[in-house]
A and B are shown apart, each in its own frame.
Chain A
């Protein structure tokens, strides 16, 4: 009976607590305001400022001058911007599918309980935590035409020495290869986490129905991993379109501009030639492209989820 009595007696302290919960606006704002000020202050304000800059001529020092759409018009005609776009697209078109497909393959290979599996996983993933600057410096040495170990190995094998980063025909593809070395590990761990969520019963059922290894992969595993795949495509594409650090450290956009990617172009225009308005216009163009890619993949993702 005690419990029934209990429901009729309202603890006065609990009523006071409810009243307190209603008047908590000040506490809430006090807790979030440092984050709100820093995050919105350093994102919303700069985004609008960049938009204004893209219609101006600005050298980061003197007052800006309004020029309307002139920056965008010049951008369309600038062959250097055109080649920066095409280098970025080549890099992205190679890096994204290769890293995602390799990531899936390696994740499936690593998804088993055998000796040393922990070590294999660690080794595949470890390059991902190495900074782009460190990767760039390391591979500048490995691929140094004179002192690098790569040419030394080619020499031992009786093959001709290569120019590597000094060869305009190779530099961009080497950047893709280095990015694959460090970036595939991320796809591997995301896929490995995703594979734990693939229903073992479903796989078992498919096996009983006579599906072979490929059949299970095609009809059970891949469809179950579709959300993970779409996320990775989106994530890797956004990263690839913004590649900069590795380029800056290894080639500085060269040789002969063969590795000038969009963000390198943006950085150069803003902080080397001090044409910040022009740079902002290029940045806006890239941002709109990213937004379109992101939105397209989101729509596709919803459709997959709805199915």
Chain B
């Protein structure tokens, strides 16, 4: 690669990028400080050596591992279900002619504009009727499939040429077989977009777990972290260690699949 010449823009961009990065750097730094360093006045700005006390506390005594597992279960089920149900629904809306399809699709898309606050009380009451309140089921059921997932798959399938499927169709292949063995292998961009958006939404959600969950053993990481902060107000290094653990999966996912993340999020904007 050819070396690019130095540009004056670095003088603007480097401090700007640093400004955005600094709070996260501080998150990492303070998670390896000792409580003595944090609790003196004025607090230290840089640690003297790395202390893992915070992580030891969080992983040993608290319910953090359990909360991590809960968050993981909810996100994993939600991502899988959105990929399966979203692609099934999206494929049917894109390719199969059936009575009422336009009406139902329109209705589903219209529900995207409903703010969550409007549905949260009745959703709570529905989950209570189903006996799911205070279980992971209450978190999983509403996130099994979103209209956005169905819509993103539909848009992608509409853009694929029909000819790819025609030969298989004429040979008597069923729709499900065509979807699984011909269409989905070509749908990696759509699959990764839906996976990324679903994972971000479920992993990061606080509002709904706050409403639907009461027992601390059923908390998700976001809810657990929030209550943990309230209860351990003086153990900031442990709180920050917990915070690092909460943020890390999303951050790692982002850094590993940055292109997919950015394309997914930008696409929600440009198609809107």
Contacts and interface: CB of A to CB of B under 8 A. Distances in A.
Interface string B143-156: 01111001000000
Nearest to B97: A24
A29 B243 CA distance: 44
A17 B145 CA distance: 31
B171 interface: yes
B121 A279 contact: yes
Interface string A122-137: 1111111111111011
Contacts of B256: none
Contacts of A47: 114, 118-119, 122
A142 B121 CA distance: 34
A269 to B, nearest CB: 10
Interface in B21-51: 21, 23-24, 26-27, 30, 38-39, 41-43, 45
A228 B271 CA distance: 10
Given A35-B89, A115-B4, A248-B210, A42 B119 contact: yes
Interface string A219-234: 0000000001001101
B17 A123 contact: yes
Interface residues of B, number: 99
A146 interface: yes
Interface in A247-281: 248-249, 263, 266-267, 270-271, 276, 279-280
Contacts of B107: 40, 44
Contacts, number: 298
Interface stretch (A75-83, A91-99, A183-191): A183-191
Interface in A27-84: 27-29, 31-32, 34-36, 38-40, 42-47, 49-50, 53, 60
- Identify whether the interface residues of B are mostly helix, strand, loop, or mixed: helix
B43 A31 contact: no
Given A120-B17, A193-B270, A283 B117 contact: yes
A127 B104 CA distance: 37
Contacts of B126: 42, 45-46
Interface of A: 11, 13-14, 16-17, 20-22, 24-25, 27-29, 31-32, 34-36, 38-40, 42-47, 49-50, 53, 60, 106, 109-110, 112-117, 119-120, 122-134, 136-142, 144, 146-149, 151-153, 155-156, 181, 185-186, 189-190, 192-194, 228, 231-232, 234-235, 238, 242, 244-245, 248-249, 263, 266-267, 270-271, 276, 279-280, 283-284, 286-287, 290-291, 294
The 3 A-B pairs at the shortest CB distance, nearest first, are namely A28-B98, A46-B122, A131-B204
20 contacts: A22-B97, A27-B175, A31-B175, A34-B85, A34-B88, A38-B85, A39-B108, A39-B111, A49-B121, A53-B122, A124-B20, A126-B251, A139-B23, A144-B236, A189-B262, A189-B265, A190-B270, A270-B120, A276-B121, A287-B117
Interface of B: 3-4, 6-7, 9-10, 12-14, 16-18, 20-21, 23-24, 26-27, 30, 38-39, 41-43, 45, 85-86, 88-89, 91-93, 96-99, 101, 104, 107-108, 111, 113-126, 141-142, 144-147, 150, 169-172, 174-175, 200, 203-207, 210-211, 222-223, 225-226, 229, 236, 239-240, 243, 246-247, 250-251, 254-255, 258, 261-262, 265-266, 269-270, 272
